[in-house]
Amino acid sequence: MGAKAKKYAFKAEAKQLLDLMIHSVYSNKDIFLRELISNSSDALDKRRFESVQNPELLPEGTELRIFIKADKAQRTLSIWDNGIGMSEAEVKEFIGTIAKSGAAAFLEKVKESKAAGLSPELIGQFGVGFYSTFMVADKVTLVTRRAGQETAVRWESAGGGSYTLQEDDRFEPGTTVTLHLKEADPEDALHDYTDLYTIRHIVKQYSDFVAYPIQMDVEQKNDKGEASLERETLNSMKAIWLRARNDVTEEEYHEFYKHISHDWNEPLVRIQAKMEGTLEYRMLLYIPSKAPFDLYYREAARHGVHLYVKRVFIMDDCKELLPEYLRFIRGVVDSEDLSLNISRELLQQNRQIMRMSKGIVSKVLSALKELQDSNAEKYKTFWDEFGRVLKEGLFQDQDNQKPLLDLAMFASTQDASALTSLKEYIERMKPGQDAIYYMTGESRKQIENSPHLEAFKAKGYEVLLLSEPVDEVWTQSVFEFEGRKLQSIGKGAVELGTDEEKKKEKEARKKKQKTFSSLLECLKNKLDEQVKEVRLSNRLTSSAACLVSDTNDMSPQLEQMMKAMGQNLPGVKRILELNPDHPILAKLQDLFERDATDPALTDYAHLLYGQAVLAEGGELPDPAQFSKLIGNLMLKTL
């Protein structure tokens, strides 16, 4: 034994997590064992991977394995592996990382799940699986030795507010976790974790496909009744992606998903293929049914696509195999053609990886299209969870822009309770309509209340309502779909109706333009610092004014986003459109004709501009001045 143990306090979130586990809110406590086996499997993968570059880390003849030992008399259960192990610093970081990255989010999710009446089977997804041991144990001891180091370290905690660390001895690299089990429930023999049957059952159900032998010494009696211990392998160790589909049950596929993703929800979709030809590889991929908590924190993401070469684990979360917008995919890709020595740096330049990535993306998008066409309800579940991420591909992946547009779903003015595809939108387009109309904004409610929609509603034109930040970005790089241009109703001029109706409106607008041209020029002069033009609108039916952008100008929302990211952009002036049929414009025309120099024209110009800013949910450049103008107007009126 090494030096005296040093005591350390758990961080606040970790302490809450321990309390949660100790008071056992989970109905299925068996998950602690599959979590520990998964951790051991990961550690064995890492030792094998690191030994490719450093052969001394894995001496020839070493059998990588997991060993389980149960002691009924002492009520202990040990899970032993000869994986990569941990140094003292890594043990501290391991405990700290759990507390930092997963615990707070995990606790929040548990609260949400409880409120929604859901079963909070969330442990693995948040990287807090090690803590699940405290559901069944009063004390947990971990002894570990990092491959390449001589000294082991012992971590121990009784689940209170602290843990201890001290030097220890271990014959070879790896980790042993020993659980000092709580008293068994005599009425619940199925959950006695020192019982051979219970252990066998859990391993078979949850960890049968682990690539390393999970072993246990089992007492056997010969014909004479003499007892001896025999080593038994509890799992089949068959790589599930190499087995014929008919030989694998749905339950086995689901358990494999849970093993590699650490997500204990059922997957939504499974994608399986064997690619043959000049490049041979297999894929077994899954789309989760729930978005992981770190979906938008790529630097914290893990449990992505695992890369194997000839069934030898190379790395988890192989980002080179899938683009960013498919980062929610989980699973395994196994190549016959890559080198076992391939590094992450080489992966980025490897042509075979690029070709594999292209094939994998194609398969995933095809599977999503099939789901969209065959199961609308299931596809909606997918879209609600991952649609926002998938839309990133519309500007990141030009090669797949068309299939991604086919998959995209949008809210629209057609039906407040349903989403629509672009194909469905086109099928409903009016005769003579040559554009797919859309409007971007901060929320659906804000867009629906926008004055820009008035003429479209009045004439029955459908408009897509795009309220996510990513919509501001992809609409800058997607200009058409199946020959129809995508047009923002908040930009440029809008002409609605048949050719005959457009012609009549144009003639009527010319007459109104003559009537109001001098007034419009006057108002433009008053608002010269705010707008580039004041013109008559054909998109307003009830509001007096609205602001629109020039066709090629940045939207105010995108401008705001760019500034928030530190981009120093010059302000873009917009166009103020006025409703020629609104009584206010007629009154202003009367005032202008009586006295074109009346100071009230300046106030009314700024009031119209402020009203247009507020109507689209914008921020006034000078709220105090606008408030003063409103007050003065009220005094005059009263």
pLDDT at 563: 65
Which stretches of the chain score pLDDT less than 50?
Answer: 25, 96-97, 99-102, 115-127
Distance CA 104, CA 577 (A): 49
Quick one: three-class SS letters along 79-127? EEECCCCCCHHHHHHHHHHHHHHHHHHHHHHHHHHHHCCCCCCCCHHHC
Residue in 498, 529, 540, 534 with CA at minimum distance from that of residue 516? 534
Angle 376-390/351-374 helices, nearest 10 degrees?
A: 140
Quote helix, strand, coil % in the chain, to nearest 5: 45, 20, 35
Distance CA 152, CA 280 (A): 42
Q: Which H or E run contains 284?
A: strand 281-287
**Which tens digits make up the pLDDT trace of 267-308?**
999 999 999 888 899 999 999 999 887 777 755 556 689 888
The 3-state DSSP class for residue 293 equals coil
Single-letter code of the amino acid located at 479:
F
Is residue 435 within 8 Å of residue 494, measured between CB atoms?
no
Residue in 28, 174, 15, 157 with CA at minimum distance from that of residue 99? 15
The highest-level CATH class for domain 516-637 is: mainly alpha
* Structure-block tokens of residue 544: 């007096």
Question: Under CATH, domain 6-233 is a member of which superfamily?
Answer: Histidine kinase-like ATPase, C-terminal domain (3.30.565.10)
**Which tens digits make up the pLDDT trace of 317-350?**
788 899 999 999 999 999 888 776 666 566 666 7
Is residue 285 within 8 Å of residue 268, measured between CB atoms?
no
pLDDT at 119: 42
Angle (CA) 142 95 58, round 5° = 55
Is residue 429 within 8 Å of residue 487, measured between CB atoms?
no
Angle (CA) 323 567 479, round 5° = 55
Q: Which H or E run contains 381?
A: helix 376-390
The DSSP-derived string for 140-186 is: EEEEEE-TT-S-EEEEEE-SSSEEEEEEE--SSSEEEEEEEEPPP-T
Residue 167 has, within 13 A of its CA and on its CB side, a CA count of 7
Distance CA 532, CA 524 (A): 8
pLDDT at 187: 65
DSSP state of 547: E
Distance CA 2, CA 70 (A): 26
Residue in 212, 208, 211 with CA at minimum distance from that of residue 200? 208
Residue with tokens 């109703």: 489
Is residue 439 within 8 Å of residue 466, measured between CB atoms?
yes
* Structure-block tokens of residue 502: 């457009």
Is residue 308 within 8 Å of residue 242, measured between CB atoms?
no
* Structure-block tokens of residue 485: 């241009």
Single-letter code of the amino acid located at 232:
E
Distance CA 327, CA 626 (A): 47
Name the burial class of residue 484, with classes exposed (0-12), middle (13-18) and buried (19+) by CB atoms within 10 angstroms of its CB. middle
For residue 419, what are the β-bridge partners? 411
Residue in 269, 284, 366 with CA at minimum distance from that of residue 331? 284
Is residue 498 within 8 Å of residue 432, measured between CB atoms?
yes
pLDDT at 97: 47
User: In the chain, what are the domain boundaries?
Assistant: 6-233, 240-373, 516-637
pTM flag (> 0.75): no
pLDDT at 118: 33
CATH code matching the domain that covers 240-373, chosen among 3.40.50.300, 3.30.230.80, 3.30.420.40, 3.40.190.290: 3.30.230.80
